[in-house]
Amino acid sequence: MKTFKHIYKDAKNKIHGIAAAPGIVIGKVYLFTKEKLEISDGEVTNFEEAKRNLEEALKQSKKELTKVFSIAREKMDETRAAIFEAQMMILDDPILLKAFEERIEREKKQPEYVVFDEITKYQDIMRHSKEPYIKERAHDIDDIKNRIIRNLQKKRWQSKIAADAIVVSDMLTPADTLLLSRSNVKGFVTDHGGLTSHAAIISRSLNIPAVVGTHDITKHVKEDDTIIVDGFHGYVLINPTKEQTEFFTKKFQHLVELQKGLEEFKDKPALTKDGREILLYANVDVSGEIDIVVTSGASGIGLYRTEQILEELSEFPTEEEQVKIYSNLSSRIYPNTLTIRAFDIGGDKFKLLEIYEANPFLGLRGIRLLLENPTLFKTQIRAVLKASNNKNIRFMLPMVSTIMEIKRAKEIIEECKDELKKENHSFDKHFMIGIMVEVPAAAVMTKELSKEVDFLSIGTNDLIQYLMAVDRGNDLVSDLYQEFSPAVIRTIYHIITQAKESKKEISFCGEMAADTLAIPLLVGLGVTSLSMSPSTIPYAKRIIRYLNYAHTKQLAKDCLSCSTEVEVIHLIEKFFKEHSITRTRQII
Ligand code: PEP
Ligand code: MG
């Protein structure tokens, strides 16, 4: 049977972007373009008239935004709707309004030029901010700026379109996203914008699948083209083939079935029928995801990939900047746990140093790079410690392969604690330290490594790559990237058993945790805590609530004696059928 991997591997008509809001849709393109506003900087001869025009345009803009705000309050929760309230407040900002008037009088420039120039100045300051959140907000201000200018020019913009279209645009403002959603828009795709752009956040709130940041999709599609939007994996397929349409139609129908009643699981524990609780945590890549984490029913954050902060900022944040980011997350998730992973730099991730490595995945990556760069490592440790006063933060080391690496990291952590004590900074005295088990050497030595740490987390994304000697990003060998290989599952079992013998908490945070086909097997192998992308948590919860731990133990036992991946998959599929559990693997 074809999987997503096969479909995307062969697709020539695919465009990749950022998976901003989960879901799958097939529909016709509506190219949403806004007339580019020409701004005149001509001279003002009648100051009183210019001032009146400005007042009217501001009044009209406020009227429009009030309407947008009231729709937002109907459709979204208060915090989301507040985006528009904030825009309305800009219209009431006396300093800004005074600046407009003074400049029109002093410079004798047209109001539209002054509005453009004055607000652009604010935006430039925001764009240079180190906070990704503030940077993204600079885009949102475009909306208010263009709204006032359009009203000064007495133009109208279209906000209603044919129902059921997929809106494709270079960029969407929060108001566009909201107003367009009234026309039953099926999906959003944009050239620009990131996961934290408000258009993305609003799409998630409204449950409309979205892919953002495709760079140039508007150049590749025409009005009325058919496209498939996959908001789980961040792909768009343009004018899909018959095979692709059939594949995604089935997925879509399956998804509709699956989503029925998913909400009801949100506040229930992930408990098997015979009473074994599996804790479900969220993997977080960017802090903007925290909203989905909070609404997904997660028990906490099992993996916060801090190297993503570097991707977002393109530079190394200072200690204080990091303290702010970690404290903020810790408070948002409190009293649940936040597992902060030390920067996993290197491999195919953020490049810190311009060093040539023939095999970066086998090179200076994760803990190896951090130990080589103690200043950088210490900055992060100090920030994590300073943010730990809620007592819900724990710290995890990536790419560990030897005990010496853990011992050295712990020494550095102790040095940081001593420094902070001397500087009179408080921190959590029981700060927990854990490791990722993702290198085969660490898997083999789990028993010994366990003695050095408080907790362990299995990272199958890398574990499979290193165990099978197959680059996780290389399409040519992707058939060998087998999460159900007996070699992989026996290794997972070994890690779990050894960690448990040492009475250390063992969790699981590789993508395999989100593969619903893998869940019964992992539960049977003894996993009691899984961390996955937040949007997949309700699906995992539902599977677990259908399981019987005793049955999964037998399944695991049978799988452990298989000699090929095909046999393992066959056993699991049989298990799903025998126990009448809906199979959801290929959906997400
Ligand atoms: C892993 O390797 O399984 C993991 C969770 O880490 P990452 O995907 O960030 O390498
Ligand atoms: Mg990894």
Tens-digit pLDDT profile for residues 503-525: 999 999 987 887 788 999 999 99
Domain 7-33+159-259 has CATH 3.50.30.10: yes
pLDDT at 587 over 60: no
Architecture of the domain delimited by 451-588: Alpha-Beta Barrel (3.20)
Give the pLDDT of residue 586: 43
b/e for 414-426, b at 16 or more Cβ within 10 A?
A: eebbeebeeeeee
Mean pLDDT of 5-14: 85
pLDDT tens digits along 216-227: 999 999 988 999
Residue 475 or residue 108, greater confidence: 108
DSSP structure string for 113-169: HHHHHHHHHHHHHHHT-S-HHHHHHHHHHHHHHHHHHHHHTT--------TTPEEEE
Ligand nearest to the CA of 460: 1
Q: From the CA of 348, which ligand is nearest?
A: 1
What spacing in Å lies between the alpha carbon of 536 and ligand 2's midpoint? 19
The alpha carbon of 488 and the centre of ligand 2 are apart by a number of angstroms equal to 15
Q: Which residue has the higher pLDDT, 195 or 528?
A: 528
Strands 166-169 and 24-31: parallel
Nearest residue by C-alpha to atom 1 in ligand 1 = 459
Q: Name the range with the highest mean pLDDT among 178-192, 200-214, 344-358, 432-446.
A: 432-446
d(CA 526, CA 529): 9
For residue 462, give the ligand 1 atom closest to its CA: 2
Strands 187-190 and 166-169: parallel
Say if ligand 1 is within 6 A of residue 510 CB: yes
Provide φ and ψ at 231, rounded to 5°: -80, 0
Omega before 335 cis (within 30°)? yes
User: Which comes out higher in pLDDT, residue 504 or 263?
Assistant: 504
Q: Give the residue, out of 306, 462, 506, 522, with the most ligand 1 atoms within 8 A of its beta carbon, to mutate for a pocket test.
A: 462
Residue with the smallest CA separation from ligand 1 atom 7 is: 461
Question: Which residue is closest in CA terms to ligand 1's atom 3?
Answer: 459
Distance, CA of 174 to CA of 84 (rounded, Å): 8
Q: 18: which 2 tokens?
A: 């950022």
The residue among 140 and 431 whose pLDDT is bigger is 431
Are residues 269 and 239 in contact, defined by beta-carbon separation less than 8 angstroms?
Answer: no
Question: Does 344 contact ligand 1 (Cβ within 6 A)?
Answer: yes
Give the whole-angstrom CA distance, residue 353 versus residue 330. 30
Q: For a substitution probing ligand 1, which of 286, 343, 344, 365 has the most ligand atoms within 8 Å of its CB?
A: 344
In the DSSP assignment, the letter for residue 191 is S
- Residue 307 Cβ < 6 Å to ligand 1: no
Which residue did the predictor score with more confidence, 133 or 168? 168
Tokens 């580019």 belong to which residue?
36
Ligand closest in space to the Cα of 307: 1
**Closest protein CA for atom 8 of ligand 1:** 461
Length of the chain: 588
Residue 510 alpha carbon, nearest atom of ligand 1: 3
- CA dist 5 and 1 (Å) reads 11
CA 536 to chain centre: 12
Which residues does the annotation mark as catalytic? 198, 509
- Residue with CA closest to ligand 1 atom 4: 459
460-491 burial, b if ≥16 CB within 10 A, otherwise e?
bebbbbbbbebbbeeeeeeeebbbbbbebbbb
Kindly list the domain boundaries of the chain, sorted by start residue.
7-33+159-259, 47-152, 279-437, 451-588
Distance 315 CA to ligand 1 centre (A): 22
pLDDT in the model for residue 283 = 87
| 3-state secondary structure at position 435 | strand
pLDDT at position 354 over 80:
no
Q: Which atom belonging to ligand 1 lies closest to the Cα atom of 461?
A: 3
**CATH no. for 47-152:** 1.10.274.10
Q: Which residue has the higher pLDDT, 213 or 582?
A: 213
Distances (CA, A) of 407 to 371, 448, 452: 11, 12, 7
Establish whether domains 279-437 and 451-588 are of one fold.
yes
Specify the residue with its C-alpha closest to ligand 1, atom 6.
459
The C-alpha atoms of residue 177 and residue 200 are separated, in whole angstroms, by: 9
Which numbered atom of ligand 1 lies nearest the CA of 459?
3
The SS3 assignment for 37 reads: coil
Q: Please report the atom of ligand 1 found closest to the CA of residue 511.
A: 3
In this structure, what DSSP letter does residue 13 have?
S
pLDDT digits (tens, 9 = 90+) for 427-481: 999 999 999 999 999 999 999 999 999 999 999 989 999 999 998 767 678 788 8
306 Cα–ligand 2 center, Å:
12
460 pocket-lining for ligand 1 (C-beta < 6 Å)? yes
**How many C-beta atoms surround the C-beta of residue 263 within 10 A?**
10
Nearest CA among 547, 566, 545, 563 for reference residue 555 = 547
Distance 460 CA to ligand 1 centre (A): 7
Reduce the DSSP state of residue 96 to 3 states and report it: helix
Reported as a pLDDT band with limits 50, 70 and 90, residue 4 is: confident
Least confidently predicted of 54-68, 234-248, 304-318: 304-318
Q: Is the pLDDT of residue 314 over 80?
A: no
Beta bridge partners, 337, equal 300
Please state, rounded to an integer, the average pLDDT across all residues of the chain.
Answer: 88
List Cβ neighbours of 498 (8 Å cut-off, separation of 6 or more). Answer: 446, 447, 450
Mean pLDDT of 136-146: 79
The pLDDT value given to residue 159: 61
% of the chain surpassing 70 pLDDT = 92
459 in contact with ligand 1, CB cutoff 6 A: yes
Q: Which residues make beta-bridge pairs with 166?
A: 29, 187
**What is the radius of gyration, based on Cα positions, of the chain?**
26
Coil, helix or strand for 231?
A: coil
Q: Tokens standing for 297? A: 């029913």
Asked if residue 218 has its Cβ within 6 Å of ligand 1, the reply is: no
The pTM assigned to this predicted structure is 0.68
Q: Options 1.10.10.10, 3.40.50.2300, 3.20.20.60, 3.40.50.970; which CATH number does 279-437 get?
A: 3.20.20.60
Q: Three-class SS of residue 336? A: coil
pLDDT for 585 equals 47
Query: Residue 302 carries which DSSP code?
Result: E
Which of 305, 362, 530 for a ligand 1 pocket mutation test, highest count of atoms within 8 Å of Cβ? 305
Q: Whose CA is nearest to atom 9 of ligand 1?
A: 305
Amino acid at 47: F
